[in-house]
Structure 1
């Protein structure tokens, strides 16, 4: 039996539903099950001229690969491609809650998520900063780590973040010795447990230009980052840095590591998305379940056109299945 991967269809007005429909062509080792409104999926398939057979998910029967299994959750309001509707904000969260419940119960081996629109969820009256933070709160996980990954011509590139969706002015205060240490421990543990890397090598970025230039451009490297690295090196972790971020993503440096830890969102993800956009994925580390996601947004301007590339969602589903298989070992 292929591992069952719950795939949330995300913001109904975005490209998520049509990307999920493309999974009817998926030929990998995962068994994707789409969570979404049946009528929405059927209508989007008609709009795009896709001949997709939708069938209800039956846990004990692995259907033929040409069919697309779904779990129906109804929209609050009809959805039009490209037009946001705040009243569907609760629907988007219901998809996540259903997928999470199935992962916790063992019904699903993992979950993969299509993109959501943070603004419309907040307009619906729910404070929402992202999948990562939402799933951490729902699972009572004190700290999770956001990591994006993708294949490049030189091999896999994995970039984890010490801080995520914060204004830049708030980043330095957020990078405390305790947070940095916990982040590195989570990253190290999941590189071993979920990626099968026995002795992970982690490249750690500095916060400031030139990694602080010996204190002339900032003291965070001297006062926060280096002491934490020295402590964990003493426990046997293979950590290098703090590296200047402007040279850390050059091939000679990347060749010395299995993953990068950046200090803030754009420091790490600009390089990652330049190298892998459209094929990269997002992974939430530290959760009691496996969760992967696409590396792009809702792309409202492409919704309903059939031009959206499903490559990232295909890879998110495949990587979720690979991690689920490693977990069984």
Structure 2
């Protein structure tokens, strides 16, 4: 069975509608999944001539009504926006609509009508103007699924990375790392890949210090105190975990196939290798959401400055859809 991927339209004043329509002119996506867009049909119809897409828009109310045919975009139409919504302008109306698309997608995922969610970008200012005071997609998804323990996963060609910490300073990040967090993220990585059909995935944990501390030569024993107990706990549960490994060789080894996923300790330790491996094909993934909901996203913003001009590159959107296909739970 091909997984059903719910694609949320994001902020309609940005490039989301364009890159969705562009992506869904790729037959390979229809060969591998059943895409269903959650958004506003009027906006998608407006961008069709802009991106010169020869596709039909098929309005549905339920996923079961989808045609799932290449050349036809199936859309659950929430009908929240006017056709003349201007591109490139912050709008509370568009911000609220972007939130509602996500809420509907989460509802569909909870009901097992879709297997994964792929999100086009939203604009935080517009989101706040629309009355939804969240920093971004991840926090919305966590709230809607009543989730406390989740993590960011990034993928690029031949490399997957999951993070112990993200948007905090380096000193704070090291303070936040502890054995329980290390264990939980290892388990999130293992469970995500296992549910996606991978047997006995190998999870490699990156060291905090140069050379992973080199037996106390560098740092103050952070690897032994903060990482090793969590790794050992995971191993005792039968998870194929290893480390801590030195960062200067680990990402190369993972990219050549020695490991299925790397646990990075802080933001730049994980993000930098991903960007080097393929910044245009990078995908941001939220894992650990209750109910096994997988969410993938483009690794860029709404790009208001080029919206409506047929300039936007759809590669990251295609990569996000393909990651959703790959990681969609098979159970």
- TM normalised by structure 1 equals 0.87
Structure 2 equivalent of residue 235 of structure 1? 237
Note the 1:19-98 alignment, pairs <5 A. Answer: 19-27=19-27, 28-57=31-60, 59-75=64-80, 79-98=85-104
Contact 2:14 2:304 in 1 (8 A): yes
**In 1, Cα distance between equivalents of 2:288 and 2:225:** 26
Aligned residues: 322
Runs of 5+ in structure 1 lacking a partner?
A: none
Contact 1:23 1:32 in 2 (8 A): no
Deviation string 1:121-160 (CA, Å, 9 cap, x unpaired) is: 2454533233233212211223122211232xxxx21111
Structure 1 residues 257, 61: CA separation in 2 closer, same or farther (over 3 Å shift)?
A: closer
Please list every run of at least 4 consecutive aligned residues from structure 1 whose deviation after the TM superposition is greater than 6 angstroms: none
**In 1, Cα distance between equivalents of 2:92 and 2:217:** 48
Shift of 1:218: 4.1
Structure 1 equivalent of residue 195 of structure 2? 193
Note the 1:1-329 alignment, pairs <5 A. Answer: 2-27=2-27, 28-57=31-60, 59-75=64-80, 79-151=85-157, 156-194=158-196, 196-212=197-213, 214=216, 216-251=218-253, 255-287=257-289, 288=291, 289-324=293-328, 327-328=330-331
**In 2, Cα distance between equivalents of 1:9 and 1:164:** 26
**In 1, Cα distance between equivalents of 2:123 and 2:36:** 22
Shift of 1:227: 2.2
- TM normalised by structure 2 equals 0.86
Runs of 5+ in structure 2 lacking a partner?
A: none
Q: CA RMSD in A?
A: 2.6
Shift of 1:112: 1.1
Structure 1 residues 134, 3: CA separation in 2 closer, same or farther (over 3 Å shift)?
A: same
Segment of structure 1 superposing worse, 77-86 or 178-187: 77-86
**Matched residue SS, 1:277:** helix
Structure 1 residues 24, 256: CA separation in 2 closer, same or farther (over 3 Å shift)?
A: closer
Contact 2:203 2:261 in 1 (8 A): yes
Shift of 1:76: 5.4
Structure 1 residues 86, 215: CA separation in 2 closer, same or farther (over 3 Å shift)?
A: farther
Structure 1 residues 258, 64: CA separation in 2 closer, same or farther (over 3 Å shift)?
A: closer
